[in-house]
């Protein structure tokens, strides 16, 4: 065989055996790289999640979104900027005698366990509110000025009391309600106001006057904000900071009522809260999963609230709360939160929680919910309230459902 024939035979054998392993490996690398480049070109930026726009608006107005969990609280109540927790969630405790349970979903009136989204608020825009001359012409029958017969001057400050004629502040300062039909009643509270001028002003001006507004005691210019809120028809509550299971990691503020405090210290802190403003109908607990679960701790608080003619709303940050049951036993005017409506910052989820409140009200005749002053919450509530009457419900202030809800 000639040399030429040998070379041709070798070339023929090489073609039959196909490409080498190295050649195949390089081919795979080239194809994979090309696929990655093509995917990156087609994918584009990720879509904006529902609620991101509202979180951006909150950041610009001074209120932090649920993901921003750090809360700075100043002990000096005269400071220009004070930051306190809203009705923030309390993660399951690791050192508590009782763990936080998951919500019971067996019925329409089941109450939520601890919240699932953390909130805190700051006052980056906290410019002083221009004081206005008090207006005694009350819209919708609200009493706009403080009744001196319902105030006790103390070293702590002015404290509400039952008047000599038996009038109680929770009734005197309530938004009048005279609808005696059998329509199911729904009450809503927007909590955590007073910490941001932009957020507070928007809530006061946008929300229906039947919605009750709850102010943080760490806000600025509370009396002026209450002037404005009552001037548009809203009744007012104060937020009472109470100890959660994971305190002090989750701290509602320097005046927090704690389980291991003496009765005198508990009442001293309670009076500090109650003296921070006037013309409110009562208080609702800010956090407090541990405190509201203690009958011993809650008893002096509720007795004092009763003595002062106030209403207590159990915000139900824990299913172990005894506050509403104890209030009923002590004959304290009471309300109970059935749903937190905006743990999830989406219009669809808020509407779903509102529909659950409708079911509760339809079953038991009355229901109450709590929300925060998020833009999406305020916007959704304002639109939802417009069609509520057509569904056969009536939107009412918290005072109009006092003692009407079942308590477990």
- Same-domain status, 23 and 95: no
What domain range includes position 8? 3-43
> pTM of this prediction?
0.71
Whole-angstrom CA distances from 405 to 100, 315, 384, 396, 399 are: 24, 13, 22, 14, 12
Asked if omega into 112 is within 30° of 0 (cis), the reply is no
Residue at 356 is within a domain: yes
Indicate whether 74 belongs to any domain: yes
Q: Residue 152: helix, strand or coil by DSSP?
A: strand
CB 377 within 8 A of CB 350: yes
Does residue 343 lie within any of the structural domains?
yes
pLDDT > 80? residue 402: yes
Q: Give the whole-angstrom CA distance, residue 169 versus residue 151.
A: 9
| Terminal C-alpha separation, the chain | 104
Distances in Å between the Cα of 216 and the Cα atoms of 230, 249, 277 are: 16, 19, 10
Q: For residue 49, is it within any domain?
A: no
**What span, in angstroms and rounded, lies between the C-alpha atoms of 259 and 298?**
9
30 and 80 belong to one structural domain: no
Residues 305 and 170 in one domain: yes
* Selection from 9-13, 18-22, 312-316 with the highest mean pLDDT: 312-316
pLDDT of residue 363: 97
Give yes or no: residues 128 and 32 share one domain. no
CA distance 302 to 308: 10
CATH of the domain at 360: 3.20.20.370
* pLDDT 10s digits, 336-374: 999 999 999 999 999 999 999 999 999 999 999 999 999
Check residue 178 and give its pLDDT: 87
Give the pLDDT score at 21: 61
Residue 61 backbone dihedrals phi, psi, to 5 degrees: -90, -5
Is 390 a member of any domain? yes
Cα distances from 109 to residues 210, 338, 343, in angstroms, run 22, 7, 18
Split at pLDDT 50, 70, 90, the class of 180 is: confident
Question: What is the pLDDT averaged over residues 208-229?
Answer: 96
What six digits make up the tokens of 301? 């608080």
Residues 116 and 16 in one domain: no
Say whether both 321 and 184 belong to one domain: yes
Q: Which residue has better confidence, 14 or 98?
A: 14
- pLDDT above 90 coverage of the chain, percent: 63
Structural domains counted in the chain: 2
How confident is the model over 171-189, as a mean pLDDT?
94
What CA–CA distance (Å, rounded) separates 263 from 283?
19
Q: Are residues 39 and 134 in the same domain?
A: no
* Residues 237 and 215 reside in one and the same domain: yes
Tell whether 179 is covered by a domain.
yes
Within a domain: 408: no
Is there a single domain that holds both residue 351 and residue 274? yes
Same domain, 149 and 19: no
Of the candidates 302, 310, 307, 404, the residue with the CA atom closest to the CA atom of residue 363: 404
Q: Are residues 346 and 292 both part of a single domain?
A: yes
Q: Which residue has the higher pLDDT, 330 or 120?
A: 330
Q: Are residues 36 and 75 in the same domain?
A: no
**Mind listing the pLDDT tens digit for each residue in 372-393?**
999 999 999 999 999 999 999 9
- Is 50 within the bounds of a domain? no
């Amino acid at each position: 065989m000639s040399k030429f024939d040998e070379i041709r035979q070798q070339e023929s054998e090489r073609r039959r055996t196909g490409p080498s392993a190295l050649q195949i490996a390089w081919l795979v690398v080239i194809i994979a790289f090309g696929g990655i480049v093509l995917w990156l070109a087609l994918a584009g930026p990720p879509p904006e999640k529902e609620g991101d726009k509202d979180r951006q608006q909150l950041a610009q107005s001074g209120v932090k979104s649920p993901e921003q969990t750090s809360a700075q609280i100043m002990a000096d109540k005269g400071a220009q900027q004070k930051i306190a927790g809203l009705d923030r969630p309390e993660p399951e405790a690791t050192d508590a005698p009782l763990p936080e349970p998951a919500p019971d979903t067996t019925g329409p009136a089941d109450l939520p366990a601890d919240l699932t989204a953390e909130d805190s608020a700051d006052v980056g825009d906290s410019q002083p509110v221009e004081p206005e001359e008090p207006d005694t012409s009350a819209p919708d029958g609200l009493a706009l000025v403080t009744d001196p017969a319902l105030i006790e001057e103390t070293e702590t400050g002015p404290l509400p009391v039952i008047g000599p004629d038996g009038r109680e502040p929770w009734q005197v300062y309530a938004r009048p309600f005279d609808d005696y039909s059998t329509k199911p009643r729904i009450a809503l509270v927007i909590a955590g106001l007073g910490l941001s001028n932009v957020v507070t002003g928007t809530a006061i001006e946008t929300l229906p006057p039947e919605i009750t507004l709850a102010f943080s005691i760490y806000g600025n210019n509370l009396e002026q904000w209450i002037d404005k809120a009552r001037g548009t028809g809203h009744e007012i509550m104060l937020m009472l900071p109470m100890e959660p299971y994971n305190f002090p990691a989750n701290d509602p503020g320097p005046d927090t009522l704690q389980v291991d405090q003496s009765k005198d210290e508990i009442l001293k802190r309670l009076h500090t809260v109650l003296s921070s403003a006037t013309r409110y109908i009562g208080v609702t607990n800010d956090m407090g999963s541990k405190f509201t679960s203690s009958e011993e701790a809650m008893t002096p608080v509720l007795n004092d609230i009763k003595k002062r003619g106030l209403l207590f709303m159990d915000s139900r940050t824990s299913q172990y709360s005894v506050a509403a049951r104890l209030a009923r036993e002590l004959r304290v005017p009471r309300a109970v939160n059935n749903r937190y409506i905006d743990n999830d910052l989406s219009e669809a989820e808020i509407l779903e929680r509102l529909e659950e409140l409708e079911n509760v009200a339809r079953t038991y005749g009355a229901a109450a919910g709590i929300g925060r002053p998020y833009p999406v919450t305020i916007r959704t509530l304002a639109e939802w309230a417009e069609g509520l009457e057509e569904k056969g419900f009536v939107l009412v202030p918290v005072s109009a459902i006092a003692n009407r809800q079942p308590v477990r």
